[in-house]
């Protein structure tokens, strides 16, 4: 397994199946800032709010030369329904075998209804146009996350 990415290093290229019946590689976004956000599960309250926050601010991200990609362990079929229902203007990657999740170290032990389960810890990573990881947020709280992300993006892209 590759070492986990750290701030200041180039992100290894990984390709995953995506909405829109395509395969997306992280390098497809070179030349732009890439907001790579990991979320636990489609169609759940926090994930809906997070997706909507990115959707509602898409113009601000676009003005800052930034693309957004969401990643979870849901299938592409489930992603397509979620993307359509929430009108998300960006791709969702399906990481059913947890390749990208493991590499970014976002699979964590969580408590669900009194049981310990492995799940995705809500996390966001900002990759610069050269493919270098410049910022990361772990244990993301949905409220105000997009605003904070835009502040950082404004600062690093200035």
Per-residue pLDDT of 127-145, as tens digits, reads 999 999 999 999 999 999 9
Domain layout of the chain by residue ranges: 31-157
Per-residue CA distances from 123 to 21, 47, 108, 137 (Å): 25, 12, 11, 5
Whole-angstrom distance, CA of residue 44 vs CA of residue 48: 6
CA 99 to chain CA centroid, Å, is: 14
- Specify the CATH number of the domain 31-157: 3.40.30.10
Contact present, 140 and 53 (Cβ < 8 Å): no
> Catalytic annotation on 47?
yes
pLDDT (0 to 100) of residue 12? 85
| Catalytic pick among 11, 26, 34, 47 | 47
pTM above 0.85, yes or no: yes
Whole-angstrom distance, CA of residue 66 vs CA of residue 58: 9
Residue 124: phi and psi, rounded to 5, are -135, 140
Q: Which residues pair with 115 in a beta bridge?
A: 112
pLDDT (0 to 100) of residue 2? 65
Q: What is the pLDDT of residues 3-47, one digit of tens each?
A: 788 999 999 889 999 999 999 999 999 999 999 999 999 999 999
pLDDT (0 to 100) of residue 4? 85
Q: Which of 68, 73, 57 is nearest to 108 (CA)?
A: 73
pLDDT (0 to 100) of residue 64? 97
Q: What is the pLDDT of residues 41-75, one digit of tens each?
A: 999 999 999 999 999 999 999 999 999 999 999 99
Q: What is the pLDDT of residues 86-102, one digit of tens each?
A: 999 999 999 999 999 99
Residue tagged 């990415």 (tokens) = 5
């Amino acid at each position: 397994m590759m070492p986990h990415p750290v701030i200041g290093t180039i992100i290894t290229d990984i390709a995953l199946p995506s909405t829109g019946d395509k395969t997306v590689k992280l390098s497809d976004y070179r030349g732009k800032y890439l907001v790579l956000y990991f979320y636990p599960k489609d169609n759940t309250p926090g994930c809906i709010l997070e997706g909507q926050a990115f959707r509602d601010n898409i113009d601000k991200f676009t003005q800052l030369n930034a693309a957004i990609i969401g990643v979870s362990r849901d299938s592409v079929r489930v992603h397509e329904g979620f993307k359509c229902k929430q009108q998300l203007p960006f791709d969702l990657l399906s990481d059913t075998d947890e390749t990208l999740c493991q590499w970014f170290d976002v699979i964590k032990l969580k408590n669900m209804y009194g049981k310990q389960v492995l799940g995705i810890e809500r996390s966001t990573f900002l990759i610069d146009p050269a493919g270098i990881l410049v910022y990361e947020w772990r244990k993301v709280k949905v409220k105000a996350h997009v605003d904070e992300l835009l502040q950082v993006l404004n600062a690093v892209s200035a």
